[in-house]
Amino acid sequence: MHFGVFDLFKIGIGPSSSHTVGPMKAGKVFMDRAIADGLDIARIETELYGSLALTGLGHGTDTAVLLGLEGNDPAKLNPDTVPDRLARIRQENTLKLANGREIPFVEKQDLDFRGDIRLPFHSNALKFKVFGPGEDLLREEIWYSIGGGFVIDEHEAGRNSAADVKEGEPYPFNSAQELLDIGERTGLSIHRIMLENERAFLPEDTIRAGIEGLWRTMEDCIDRGLRQDGILPGGLNVKRRAPKMFRDLKAEAKNPTDDPLAPMDWINLWAMAVNEENAAGGRVVTAPTNGAAGIIPAVARYFDRYHRDPDDEEALQRFFLTAAAIGSLYKKNASISGAEAGCQGEVGVACSMAAGALAAAMGADNHQIEDAAEIGMEHNLGLTCDPVGGLVQVPCIERNAIGAIKAIDAARLALRANSEDMKVSLDQVIETMRQTGLDMMEKYKETSQGGLAVNVVEC
């Protein structure tokens, strides 16, 4: 089962891949199918369960569902148009379906938050119901948002994967050891193995252009986050810190000090800029989730600004292909969902992906890349998801900055180590993360019922 670069890295809007991007996609796909089947749609009801209900208002799930039912694609939606779209839906109490039909929609009646119910397969569950003109039930489906913007319906739930996951790559791998074995057998680096697998489904120039597009979107997100002052939405009154930090760092650059850790401030800044944009509902790239979207862009920019050889045109391709290979291992063998595994499944996975990717970009061999990815996760094991107020703000924004620094440190440790010095494999740490997620109490998995979410007074 192949998870590619463009499965793990998707362009969408904030603040959450599982609670915003996923529900919007589910709503769109469900309605596209209903319209294509010629259903005489007169009314729609949606029920949200588990984590989607408990933190849905803070994560924008209500917004996402409304926009998805109207046929909007999170990858194409302009976030600047969202307030007007929502105002029209709520003022007129109508939805405009993709086929042009308008139907009544009273949000308080037709969108139900059922935080008291958790469906067995996954905490992020939605149920859609379509009614005909006589209030007869025409269709009812359960969908799951399983992390990173991946969605599946109840018929696909046993696969724990996206409906469009592909098979047929030339170098299939389901573990880090298999990936290393392929490298030993063929002499290929991890990024090259991933590229060859991607080429089974897309032309190479399309892959390379797509990666460049992802990187441009990440860079644009950083830069927008550096410019946008103000208070983040949601009621916590969290002030954007990145713009002031940026102005201060530029001023300090004109009067340089002997601080050897000055680059760390820029890495922190870039990660926070992305996640402030995410918290504001801006355009971000899931990497592999929105809640952890700042780590990989910050580490990639660190490499680009401080280490990349200008003549090495392949460096960022190596970075993202390697990151995707590592991310696919977590997707196949554990989870990238905060509602399923806690924040170790989001920030922990992003840190691991970024660590291995940075090592690859800096010329590491396959074993060093594996070591870097393992270190990146090992020191995030047990990390809980406890967002204050159900918002992707505290502790999420700073946590991305810390995750980026950890990723860089993990890569540097791996580059200076011998593989025989490493006692834990990437496969072992992924399995440990999976088991830890299963053992973690539900209140620490994106429910806002434990941790900081209950110990920090909301202001």
What pLDDT score was predicted for residue 269? 98
What pLDDT score was predicted for residue 168? 87
Q: Are residues 96 and 47 in the same domain?
A: yes
Q: Are residues 61 and 27 in the same domain?
A: yes
Q: Are residues 313 and 192 in the same domain?
A: yes
Q: Are residues 303 and 358 in the same domain?
A: yes
What pLDDT score was predicted for residue 58? 92
What whole-number distance in Å separates Cα of residue 458 and Cα of residue 41? 41
**Over the chain, what HEC string results?**
CECCHHHHCCEEECCCHHHHHHHHHHHHHHHHHHHHCCCCCCEEEEEEEHHHHHCHHHHCHHHHHHHHHCCCCCCCCCHHHHHHHHHHHHHHCEEECCCCCEEECCHHHHEEEECCCCCCCCCCEEEEEEECCCCCEEEEEEEEECCCCCEEECCCHHHCCCCCCECCCCCCCCCHHHHHHHHHHHCCCHHHHHHHHHCCCCCHHHHHHHHHHHHHHHHHHHHHHHHCCCECCCCCCCECCHHHHHHHHHHHHCCCCCCCCHHHHHHHHHHHHHHHHHHCCCEEECCCCCCCCCHHHHHHHHHHHHCCCCCCCCHHHHHHHHHHHHHHHHHHHCCCCHHHHCHHHCHHHHHHHHHHHHHHHCCCCHHHHHHHHHHHHHCCCCCCECCHHHCCCCCHHHHHHHHHHHHHHHHHHHHCCCHHHCCCCHHHHHHHHHHHHHHCCHHHECCCCCCHHHHCCCC
What pLDDT score was predicted for residue 458? 56
Per-residue pLDDT of the chain (459 residues; tens, 9 = 90+): 789 999 999 999 999 999 999 999 999 999 999 999 999 999 999 999 999 999 999 999 999 999 999 999 999 999 999 999 999 999 999 999 999 999 999 999 999 999 999 999 999 999 999 999 999 999 999 999 999 999 999 988 755 444 445 678 999 999 999 999 999 999 999 999 999 999 999 999 999 999 999 999 999 999 999 999 999 999 999 999 999 999 999 999 887 777 889 999 999 999 999 999 999 999 999 999 999 999 999 999 999 999 999 999 899 999 999 999 999 999 999 999 999 999 999 999 999 999 999 999 999 999 999 999 999 999 999 999 999 999 999 999 999 999 999 999 999 999 999 877 889 999 999 999 999 999 999 999 999 999 999 999 654
- Residue at a domain's end among 156, 184, 203: 156
* Number of separate domains in the chain: 2
Structure tokens at 450: 């434990």
Q: Are residues 133 and 197 in the same domain?
A: no
Q: Are residues 188 and 313 in the same domain?
A: yes
Asked if residue 314 is part of any domain, the answer here is: yes
Asked if residue 166 is part of any domain, the answer here is: no
Asked if residue 138 is part of any domain, the answer here is: yes
Asked if residue 381 is part of any domain, the answer here is: yes
Q: Nearest-CA neighbor of 238 among 412, 42, 58?
A: 58
- Residue at a domain's end among 156, 184, 214: 156
Residue 105 sits in a domain of what CATH number?
Answer: 3.30.1330.90
What pLDDT score was predicted for residue 159? 53
Contact by Cβ (8 Å): 349, 323 = no
Asked if residue 67 is part of any domain, the answer here is: yes
What pLDDT score was predicted for residue 443? 96
What pLDDT score was predicted for residue 420? 79
How many other β-carbons are positioned within 10 Å of the β-carbon of residue 332?
17
- C-alpha torsion sign, points 425, 446, 112, 70: negative
Asked if residue 12 is part of any domain, the answer here is: no
Q: Are residues 195 and 130 in the same domain?
A: no
- Using only C-alpha atoms, the chain has a radius of gyration, in whole angstroms, of 22
Treating both helix axes as pointing N-terminal to C-terminal, what angle do 262-279 and 295-306 enclose, rounded to 10 degrees?
140
Q: Are residues 140 and 235 in the same domain?
A: no
- Residue at a domain's end among 106, 121, 156: 156
Q: Which range of residues forms the domain containing residue 108?
A: 17-156
Asked if residue 275 is part of any domain, the answer here is: yes
- Give yes or no for a cis peptide into 15 (omega within 30° of 0): yes
The full length of the chain comes to 459
Q: Are residues 149 and 200 in the same domain?
A: no
What pLDDT score was predicted for residue 155? 87
Q: Are residues 70 and 214 in the same domain?
A: no
What pLDDT score was predicted for residue 158? 59
What pLDDT score was predicted for residue 161? 47
Q: Does pTM surpass 0.85?
A: yes
Q: Are residues 106 and 180 in the same domain?
A: no
Asked if residue 263 is part of any domain, the answer here is: yes
Q: Are residues 209 and 151 in the same domain?
A: no
